[in-house]
Structure 1
């Protein structure tokens, strides 16, 4: 069982997350035990479990809190997240995730893609088993569509000159922020929250997700592999031009553009020069300012939600995410 050091001061949350993990494990049932073990190795290699945390906390917004349902929906959304990661690793040809060999390197691409598809099916199996609200199933299906469109947009835009902040924000709105938004919306809906509070929960999750992805992009530039779980500048090496680089390109289009026009895959020297350009043009600082704006928006929406202990926990999580201590 995984230890959740970042939630160590909240024993209730730790217990809930352990039950989320157990429920995911229980739903992975394959006759071929070798395949089952490989997939469970992936699901056990989770990170901070932020998305299920948001489901669990927003499930306390309304007056119909049901712990069993909250655990189930948290497990479903985490399984959906894991499915996207398995596919991401294939597309990125990433050798490791959180210092563990990725599934496609242990087996092959086809094996990993089918495993990711299987996790998608597990997600909707749990959702359908625990909800009586057809609209929520439809909502999750549409959200999954937006996530996948965001992934396709990112794939299509690889190695494309990073000129537009607007197009970047549109991409991460689907790719990353949508899953945070649907996590908060799902929790609020199943708690019996009002339509207004469901929408507020959704908006809060969207802002959280936008800030989260921008911070992730910052860590890609200036973090370290041990903490980030992937090599520094990994996204840029893959032709995914993130916000710090976009800001840098806008400041020095000729210099940065010339570096991006070099043969791919980029050499270590080119990557070092791009890192230097980002540092000189203040790309990270500009990205940090935008992350701060989205974080403030999330906190403003949070303050409008009904009172409860969950709000204090959410406030700490949101601010810790901005400070990159979470």
Structure 2
């Protein structure tokens, strides 16, 4: 594990050093500027949470987390190797790269361009291998059955369905909102989480299965869901199993946190920790962010008997903040 040190701003003063207990973690001090927002009008940052998965023998679905930048992001550029293959509007953060060769490994990166036309650095490279094409495959997968779902607060829904069958295999599932394809997941996945929705709004979702030859199944029965009205606390998008404790090392006390990443189809790479009612720090994973349990530890001070309240939240792949965890209370020098 890599150790990262730096200042933590708490109650307007520097309290000490920070120790990262999770590998490949970059540290942002202060009150949680966006992962890609340097706060001074510089270039947009490199997109995080980039993934790539084959959708068929000739296509790959590329996803990334929305980037925050000043004055704003105009578009994203998607590269296959060193060649730009797609421009994507700032309101979207996924795309299908098509016209690929079967049974071939490709490397993808993403860059953000701001509204002033400045291009940020490339994301880390991700790889995907297209499956082999099936000879003369004109048979589409069966229709996904039993689709159902539930609203998760005011901004997200969870969908699931029974697997389709195919004479070869299902390569991916496409999720539609009305007539518009909004997402894609691998053929071994029969659930999806859709975020970035509007409060108090009715939506209709369907699912279609796709095989390696790009044959599409009929659409599933529609799943009609309505998000909760107003601005809720987002608890459905909060990290779960959140624990807090302290330990003493070399005469100093440290706050130890662990949690389970919120369930999303993208990768959560940024968290904000709130200490005693104030933002204490933002954590940004520069490499592979944990999809399950995550841990973090930072310096509190040398005084025993100090009581602290702590909670955290995640920045979702659509660029919005999810809900906070329940608040935990710890006291230095006590178990």
Which TM bucket (shorter chain)?
A: under 0.3
| TM-score (normalizing by structure 2) | 0.24
More helix per residue = 1
| TM-score (normalizing by structure 1) | 0.24
Which structure has the greater CA radius of gyration? 2
More strand per residue = 2
